Amino acid sequence: MTIEQAKEMIRSKIESKENQIKLRKSQVDAGKFESMIEIIEFEIKNLQKDIEFLKSLKMELE
Q: φ, ψ for residue 2 (rounded to 5)? A: -90, 165
- The answer to whether the predicted template modeling score (pTM) of the entire model surpasses 0.85 is no
Task: Say how far apart CA 3 and CA 30 lie, in whole Å.
Answer: 40
CB–CB of 20/27 below 8 Å? Answer: no
Residue 7 — very low, low, confident or very high, per pLDDT cuts 50/70/90? confident
pLDDT tens, position by position, 8-24: 888 888 888 888 888 88
- Examine the pLDDT at 33 and tell me if it is beyond 80: no
For residue 15, the surrounding DSSP H or E stretch is helix 3-29
The more confident residue out of 2 and 56 is 56
